[in-house]
Chains A and B, each alone.
Chain A
Amino acid sequence: MGAKQRALSQGRIWSWVAMGGPLGLLLVLFLVYPVGQLLLLSIHNDSGFTLAQYRQLFASSVYVDVLLITLKISLVTTLVCVVTGYPIAYLISVVGKERKATLLFWVLLSFWTSFLVRAFAWIVLLGRNGVINKLLLSLGIISSPANLLYNFGSVLVGMVNALLPLAVLTMLSVMENIDRNLPRAAATLGARPGMAFWKIYFPLSLPGVAAAGIMVFVTAIGFFIVPALLGGRRDTMITQLIIDQIQQTMNWGFAGAISVLLLFVVLIVFAAYDRLLGLSTMTGSAAARKPEPSRLSEPLAKVGDVLLTVLGTISDAIISLLPSRRRDRNPDQPGLGLQAFVWTMLLIISLPTVLMIPLSFGKGGLNWPPQGFTLHWYETVLASPVWTQAMLRSLMVGVGTGLLAMLIGTPAAFLLVRSDIPGKGAWLAFILSPIVVPRMIIAVGLFYVFANIGLVGSAFGLILGHTVVAVPYVVMTMMAVLRNYDTRLDHAASSLGARPFATLRHVTFPILGAGMMSSFLFAFATSFDELTIALFATGGLNATLPKQFWDEVTLQVSPVIAAVSTCLFIFMGLLIFTAERLRRRAAAR
């Protein structure tokens, strides 16, 4: 009996190892080890333990200033993203199915359009001969082109454009689970619209706001594309320092020290978040459906309540001043002001990339308005072996990453959903850690390890690196699918006479298949758009598309890049469209 039980549990342990082992190994070898190495390098040199790097870091105010600027840019970006993203997510969560699909498409398109493409579009848009200057000139608001680029404002615009979709999607996932009857119930109980919003809807949406805030903040703090392309000297962010240390002086120790500083800040932010709201609110919508009572202490909650009441009263006072006599007409119709605001925001985040399209066919370079029509820039791209090889390489690495991430992520998701493996929360946190650790730190660590084992410049190394950052999304997607997948369906199908293969084909695969397909696409897109790891791991040759794009755009701003941007934009548009179709087909079952 005892022996049998032991054997049984041993079998179980082996199955756990088989399902979770590959992912665990990947993360240990290509996340924990490289990052650990980098951190070690910062306190260790040829002669042993040293704090020299840190002394240098704090010796002058240079680096601390950069850290402060980084924090300032990240905070303002977060604030703007959350505040402007909230109405967008709200509108998407309340409108009917069709309008929701339309709104969501624009958010997703922006979300999936490469940071590079979007940042480049803003360079063109805000340039001396860009649309905005031309518009302001023709309106007579200014008499000579203004310097709109390379300042805090342009960085902020670029950052918000880059991260607003993330904020919207994060808040949306919580808002969609708020029972629509609750605000209506509040109305029947005597709450005016403003009060119903601030006292009922807003507190319930707060976990989404907090999650969006932290996601945007930690992403922003590790950003370098936007400040590098749109910022001036005084808008340097901390990750740019790391790049400089590696690319210019190969100073691993100092790069490691800066990484520690960055990681430290990120961890403090997470710890603060956990203290205030609990990290559990971030992982999965289950928490959102049943919000935990806030851990805020009693007096703080009281203050919050008073504040919300005041906000509600003020809002209602404002609403009652509105001239619209129809304001109370249809309680389920979102207000025109809200709709106008949301469409304006969506226009602002999509327009730059869309404007890139006519420019890429113009003869006159990137000046607005486009002149004539030519395919010259596209021909240049296709005729250039550098570009075509980069494209092929990106496709290959993307597909490889998609397959590998799906292959090792899916069993891990099964393990976390279906098995009774102990410490699930800790495993999940471990699997999701590649999202939390700033990408730059992973990239530099990987570069160091790859350099030692000769993987720099190889497609295989890139695939491994990209899989590390893509696999958390695969695991999360598959976990969500598996949670909704009812195993009784399998049993029902076989009880209805389906042979195992038929069950697989007609029941299991169509349901899981859509989930696997969308996680593949997600991983593919992550890799296809990945620059940070590629920046180092490609080793200067064998560039991927984003790397090639980066190299070009930092050298010069040319219409060739507009042509590449257009291709990328349309490619991503098609990809989302396909993924969305797949998802809806799966949801319709």
Chain B
Amino acid sequence: MVSSSLRILGLSKRYGDFVALAPTSLDVAKGEFLTLLGPSGSGKTTLLSLIAGLAHPDEGQILVDDADVTHSPAYARDIGVVFQNYALFPHMTVEDNIAFPLKMRKVSEAEARRRTMEALETVRLPHVAKRFPRELSGGQQQRIALARCIVYRPAIILMDEPLGALDKKLRDQMQLEIKRIHRELRTTIIYVTHDQEEAMTMSDRICLMNAGAIEQLGTPEDLYFRPRSVFVADFLGESNLLSATVRDVDAHGLDIALAAQAAPSRAVGNGAQFAAGEPIKVMVRPQNLQVATAGAGGLTGRLVDVMISGSLTRLYIAPEVAGLPQLVAAYPTRSGSAPHEIGQLVSLAWNPADAVAIRDDGGR
């Protein structure tokens, strides 16, 4: 199956004085599913438009399979785009929409019809061929946009928040569909979302963007378990971030002192180099924070609130020690689990392997 690698070198884009994308480099392997994740305005769409050739970079290079396409026009790039609002042509039937890229490539009529039907089968909508886009539901339009993109087998597919407008259930279903199509076609896909859960479940790698630059690039596990910055820890999943100071660094991890608490404890690094005396943040995920009735030793705190959100029960705890933020602990909801009383004193503990040291960059 056709599929290309993509290499981006020092690509940047300004609008007037505003830096929409700081010089950015990125490598995407053949057949990879890479997700661009980040808050609104972080430059995801900008990066995508540059790759697609819908906008022109101020500097930098774009290489597809090692060929420089930085200055080639969009129509010559063989890169498919699924737009956020679908961008289906309202004056053409579904069939004509899907056949459009084939016509542009001068594929014969019979062949075009065959491949159009095939693409419609792939997205499981063969019965809507004769309809106009506005006669379809949002989810169906979404799938047609997908079909129009895969029908000509572009070497790279870019998707800009393709599921943004769908409800939760349809979104889950479409996620599976996209994964399936990716498996079947093995096309390189760059996928934009600001839904972190979607990013975690779908991607080979995630590229987390912040303020026009890459914050961290890695596998979902990398980003979740070894965030390189407070921003990443905060953005991807819930986290407790405690200020601490490095006391010592050894081969297995770090000796640290939590602020305002003398008792030393241990943490593991996130891959960065730490030096003794350095102020850091320690991240503990809510599900790794163990709550016991007071007296078990370690950190103590008062229970502020309990929230049961379906499968998870969350406990909000205000530590007794000054200078620590409110913490959240989570565990799978069980019926008949021990009742918690608001205001009750509890003790908190965690496995040192679940405490990740992150350089304190002020939390940008």
Interface residues of A (CB under 8 A from B): 179, 181-182, 184-193, 195-196, 199-200, 203-204, 290-291, 293-294, 309, 328-332
Interface residue from B79, B90, B91, B103 paired with A188 (Cβ < 8 Å): B79
A-B contact pairs, 6 of them (CB 8 A): A184-B74, A185-B83, A189-B100, A294-B91, A309-B103, A332-B54
Which 3 pairs of residues, A with B, have the shortest CB-CB distance?
Answer: A190-B104, A185-B87, A187-B74
User: Which residues of chain B are within 8 angstroms of A331 by Cβ–Cβ distance?
Assistant: 53-56, 73-74
Interface residue from A182, A189, A291, A332 paired with B104 (Cβ < 8 Å): A189
Question: Quick one: given A179-B85, A182-B87, are A187 and B55 in contact (CB under 8 Å)?
Answer: no
On whether the beta carbons of A293 and B132 are closer than 8 Å, the reply is: yes
Complex Cα distance A181/B134, Å? Answer: 16
Complex Cα distance A291/B92, Å? Answer: 10
User: Which residues of chain A are within 8 angstroms of B74 by Cβ–Cβ distance?
Assistant: 184, 187-188, 331
> A289's closest neighbor in chain B, by CB?
B90
Interface residues of B (CB under 8 A from A): 52-56, 71-75, 77, 79-81, 83, 85, 87, 89-91, 100-101, 103-105, 132, 134, 148, 152
User: Which residues of chain B are within 8 angstroms of A195 by Cβ–Cβ distance?
Assistant: 104
Complex Cα distance A189/B74, Å? Answer: 8
> B80's closest neighbor in chain A, by CB?
A188
User: Which residues of chain B are within 8 angstroms of A182 by Cβ–Cβ distance?
Assistant: 87, 89
Complex Cα distance A291/B81, Å? Answer: 24
On whether the beta carbons of B75 and A187 are closer than 8 Å, the reply is: yes
On whether the beta carbons of B54 and A188 are closer than 8 Å, the reply is: yes
CB-based A-B contact count at 8 angstroms: 79
Complex Cα distance A329/B73, Å? Answer: 8
On whether the beta carbons of B85 and A181 are closer than 8 Å, the reply is: yes
User: Which residues of chain A are within 8 angstroms of B72 by Cβ–Cβ distance?
Assistant: 328
On whether the beta carbons of A290 and B56 are closer than 8 Å, the reply is: no
User: Which residues of chain A are within 8 angstroms of B148 by Cβ–Cβ distance?
Assistant: 189
Interface residue from A190, A199, A309, A332 paired with B105 (Cβ < 8 Å): A190
User: Which residues of chain B are within 8 angstroms of A179 by Cβ–Cβ distance?
Assistant: 85, 87
In the assembled complex, the CB of B222 is this many whole angstroms from the nearest CB of chain A, namely 31
Interface residue from A186, A192, A290, A328 paired with B90 (Cβ < 8 Å): A290
On whether the beta carbons of B75 and A192 are closer than 8 Å, the reply is: yes
> B90's closest neighbor in chain A, by CB?
A291
> A204's closest neighbor in chain B, by CB?
B91
> B101's closest neighbor in chain A, by CB?
A189
Q: Which of A182, A188, A200 has the most CB of B within 10 A?
A: A188
Complex Cα distance A204/B88, Å? Answer: 12
On whether the beta carbons of A190 and B152 are closer than 8 Å, the reply is: yes
Complex Cα distance A329/B71, Å? Answer: 7
> B52's closest neighbor in chain A, by CB?
A188
Q: Which of B80, B81, B148, B152 has the most CB of A within 10 A?
A: B81
Question: Quick one: given A182-B87, A204-B90, are A330 and B75 in contact (CB under 8 Å)?
Answer: no
> A332's closest neighbor in chain B, by CB?
B55
On whether the beta carbons of B75 and A188 are closer than 8 Å, the reply is: yes
Interface residue from B53, B87, B103, B152 paired with A181 (Cβ < 8 Å): B87
On whether the beta carbons of A330 and B81 are closer than 8 Å, the reply is: no
Complex Cα distance A61/B101, Å? Answer: 56
User: Which residues of chain B are within 8 angstroms of A193 by Cβ–Cβ distance?
Assistant: 73, 75
Complex Cα distance A179/B72, Å? Answer: 24
In the assembled complex, the CB of A89 is this many whole angstroms from the nearest CB of chain B, namely 19
Interface residue from B73, B85, B103 paired with A187 (Cβ < 8 Å): B73
Complex Cα distance A182/B71, Å? Answer: 21
On whether the beta carbons of B75 and A203 are closer than 8 Å, the reply is: no
User: Which residues of chain A are within 8 angstroms of B80 by Cβ–Cβ distance?
Assistant: 188-189
On whether the beta carbons of B81 and A290 are closer than 8 Å, the reply is: no
On whether the beta carbons of A200 and B89 are closer than 8 Å, the reply is: yes
* 18 further contact pairs, Cβ within 8 A, besides A191-B75, A291-B90, A331-B74: A179-B87, A184-B54, A184-B83, A184-B87, A185-B83, A188-B80, A188-B81, A190-B105, A190-B152, A191-B104, A192-B73, A192-B75, A290-B134, A328-B72, A331-B53, A331-B55, A331-B56, A332-B54
User: Which residues of chain B are within 8 angstroms of A189 by Cβ–Cβ distance?
Assistant: 75, 80, 100-101, 104, 148, 152
User: Which residues of chain B are within 8 angstroms of A204 by Cβ–Cβ distance?
Assistant: 90-91
User: Which residues of chain B are within 8 angstroms of A188 by Cβ–Cβ distance?
Assistant: 52-54, 74-75, 77, 79-81
Complex Cα distance A199/B235, Å? Answer: 43
On whether the beta carbons of B81 and A185 are closer than 8 Å, the reply is: yes
User: Which residues of chain B are within 8 angstroms of A184 by Cβ–Cβ distance?
Assistant: 54, 74, 83, 87
